[in-house]
Structure 1
Amino acid sequence: MHAWPASEVPALPGKGRDLQIHDTATQGTITLAPGPVARIYVCGITPYDATHIGHAATYNAFDLVQRVWLDTKRQVHYVQNVTDVDDPLLERALRDNLDWTELAERETALFREDMTALRMLPPQQYIGAVEAIPGIVPLVERLRDAGAAYELDGDIYFSVESDANFGKVSNLDAEAMRLLSAERGGDPERPGKKNPLDPMLWMAARPGEPSWEGASLGRGRPGWHIECVAIALDHLGMGFDIQGGGSDLAFPHHEMGASHAQVLTGEFPMAKAYVHAGMVALHGEKMSKSKGNLVFVSALRRAGVDPAAIRLALLSHHYRADWEWTDEVLEQAVARLERWRAAVSRPDGLPADALVEEVREALANDLDAPAALAAVDRWVDAQNASDGDDESAPGLVSRTVDALLGVAL
């Protein structure tokens, strides 16, 4: 599966700062100082109802991570998956009388278009669950053969008790885990499971549903968590720098994935930092497919909204915050974009070297994009209030905003 084209990232004078970021597992801020190649895995979409603003906010956060690392003169190895076979996708295809592969391909293509328009840097590997199945099957077999997995009516479940570090990603108690498991795709009430929290690794073939040969596992399809583990281990290995996604993935998805990987490799932790973006609401409720209260990037683009304004709307909120999408949020972003473009369109301006460092400092401090926007606002206000004579300043501001914030002026 291919990703989307990369926009050029301008080089800035000097060098950026190492990233300090909030780690869900330790519940504190840690400083990441990767080697020459920084490694990041971000969980991708299940391709139906793409791309809504909640998606865009999440991928914007991890695009900032990449830009901060690139500014430190590192390379970035970024991997993202597409869960192109799963119950919600099959249910939507059935509801809309569509072939599930047709739905997945259509929505994945739309996601690529939206990511391109928003200038999100693409992953080096963009892997679908279906194409990952040949690598998933042997991992499930290894877990089963090691006694970390068991069969139940043809399905294969992972035993969470096989990982001594289970629970160290989300830091939730058993009751909270059980409630979230039921809410987020698990089946804690299924009779016969050793532990209600045990997640499915391999679902035996069901009538009328897609399935694949699974060697000694029989025909079936993979569970959600093992999909990401197989892709991450194959392309990044253990101990990569950031495992990222929305805050609703901390449990069960990232918790279970970490346990799968830790049992498979005998190493801990799977990732140095677990980083989670906040949820976006609409009309007072979290934006979600199940509620249908979605604002789509493609719909905004069709209505003539500049993608740079959409991106500024996302950047105006801290990535970890839960916030609400409103017309006012977008209107403010459109006005900000107009002010910025007018300020950098002048032939000369006020010196901007200090601004570059302010934006760098803000983003290195747990991706504080609102502080970075405020720094640019101050330069723009000063630029509009006085006459500067630095011919290089407007260009430097434009490159800074492009390189670090992903907004083309």
Structure 2
Amino acid sequence: MQTPLDALAQDAGEYAARYGVPLDEALRRLRAQEESVAATDAIARRFADRLTGIAIEHMPDYRIVVLLKGDAPVPEERLFVGGMAVPVLYRTGAAATRGEVVAAIERHQPALRANLPHAPSLGLNQRTGEMVVTVDQDDVELYGHDALLTDLTLNIGVPVRLRSVDRVANLSVEGGARVVGVSNTDGRRYACTTGFVVTDGARAGVVTAAHCPDALSYVDQDRRELPLTFIDQWGWGYQDVQLHLAAEPLRPYFFADTPKTRSRPVTGSRGRHSMRAGDFVCHRGERTGYSCAEVELTDFAPSGDLCGGDCTPTWVTVAGPVCRSGDSGGPVFVGTTALGLVKGASYAADGGCNFFYYMPIDFLPRGWTVLREGVTPLPVPPSPRP
């Protein structure tokens, strides 16, 4: 079992390798990342009528950048968090606020789906204030990059960046572990990853992605399959989650390392409105193991009918290069803070991962929250779904 400090130190090792800084500096920065959330939430409230985005910059120095609409300047500030002084820089001149970009996503999503051969995905880049329209490479070759970008810019009314990918696909008892089941749709056997242990105050269950099979068995360290009791699934618009109960007691831990030899406790959670571009986050999947990368887009609406129709702009994307089918439902976290559950990914032609996206922890089933260390639900036996 890892302590919260051990858990953060493991993530700091990934941070140090990615950005070429000493391990102690990486640990300070990750502490500052988490301790600065309350401050950036306060900044968002203070500039609610002007805010376009908040981003973490890691190079050449660690700092927070706030992008605002309008030209009225705001002086630089400093936050003393994580044992370091973090500059907060205010950049002005953005053409649209975060709310205006999100409204444009919701307003133009149906027309973009109808007018392009392959439905695009849409999201907000908090660094630049742009709506990022991710389209299939075939559509770019059909219409031409410049012509397509010009058309989007004229019609949408907020800054637009066009990004092309080869293809976008859905990623098809402790958290971060393997569950297997047979699909009712095609009769094939699939593997997914458990997310976090959750509670409604009386019972404890485990969650994974709704698009995984309903009838699942938990695979333990000895490769034994332990049947789980399916409660329900929620897979529309802003959710991709299903809930299972187990006969065995469930604890508020999840696997983070690839070989599943170390468990982490859950000590807290962070919702989507507090996520910033550049936040360094980690995930664990059954196919890819443990990896960490930066948050790219917030307020992201995945493409196609992956949400039983249009997806709402409430998902969060994380840069590749690590994601594969079988990671679905897996935990997204930093240290011992729960952030969400993996839903899907965009893949390159060679099978590489462009980015994956996750459902924020805000959208667990109503009445259920992440089980935290020190909380013990009452032992109520599971009831089968009516």
Q: TM-score, normalised by structure 2?
A: 0.26
Query: Higher helix fraction: Structure 1 or Structure 2?
Result: 1
Q: TM-score, normalised by structure 1?
A: 0.25
Query: Higher strand fraction: Structure 1 or Structure 2?
Result: 2
